[in-house]
Amino acid sequence: MSPIRSLAFVVNAQKPGAQELAEELMETAREARVSVKQTDTFPVPGSFLTETDAACVIGGDGTLLGVAASAAEAGVPLIGVNRGSLGFLTTFTSEEAREHLSSLLAGDYTLAERVMLECNSETEQHDLALNDIVIKDERPSRLTRLSVEADGEFVTTYSCDGLILASPTGSTAYNLSAGGPLIHPSAEVLALTPICPHTLSNRSIIFREDVDLVIAPEDPDSCVTIAIDGQRNLRTCQGGKIAIRISPHRLQLIHRASFDHFGILRTKLKWSGGVTDGG
């Protein structure tokens, strides 16, 4: 892959040791004659990622989610360094980042493209999500009725606590907790998973990459909250429609050449079992 000659650092200063690690990695980059810059501001300033070859995000998965939309729109790949807990997206530990940064800067890495979801409301609110878009009644613990159309065809009306629209990347997040399927991150599909549906036959639906979904609350007096990656909220009222599709933008994640997706799943989800001799 192409060497990295300019590297932006996005640091979650609330994570213990994140700033100290950033200073170490920036010194490594300078020694390799790579230009660096840093921010700990969220959301990332609009022009911060321009004219950079890559960005190193130091924090947890939530930190990376906060940068994902800006990075996808700017076409800047991300190196995720985990100072949080699970680390599905921030796949480098601090030790691995120290060990491998020089080789990454020299071009020894692979790029993984991840689908982004695009959400538009009738009130002209727009956003991108890497993990998921979650639609719920804005009143806590309130049952909601949400009708769904796919390419103009009526799917069904869900009576539920909400709907999760998950990308393959987000299939291991809220979608998994709600009983949705695991999806390989390279698959270009979209999963719709109802949260606690009142009809037990309501299950997840996997839609193809070019589907256009329209979701609307059936109660004309209700307002719903649209949570984008659990970080940013949109809102619509009076039966306002919500359009969701896979965005033309893709997020690129930088991995080591030896990156093992299923190894990450086995470790993070604590899968048991192994290979037997058969019989």
Catalytic residues: 61
Residue 178: C-alpha distances to residues 77, 191, 201, 217, 246 (Å)? 30, 12, 14, 20, 21
Q: Is the dihedral of CA 228, 151, 75, 169 positive or negative?
A: positive
- Helices 18-31, 94-105: crossing angle, 10 deg rounding: 20
Distance, in Å, from the CA atom of 194 to the CA atom of 156, rounded to the nearest integer, reads 11
Q: Is the peptide bond before 16 cis (omega within 30 degrees of 0)?
A: no
Nearest CA among 245, 217, 32 for reference residue 135: 217
Cα separation, 225 vs 242, in Å, equals: 11
3-state secondary structure at position 164: strand
Whole-number Å distance between alpha carbons of 273 and 275: 7
Cβ(4)–Cβ(53) under 8 Å? yes
Strand-pairing partners, residue 110, are 255
Q: Is the alpha carbon torsion for 7, 114, 69, 266 positive or negative? A: negative
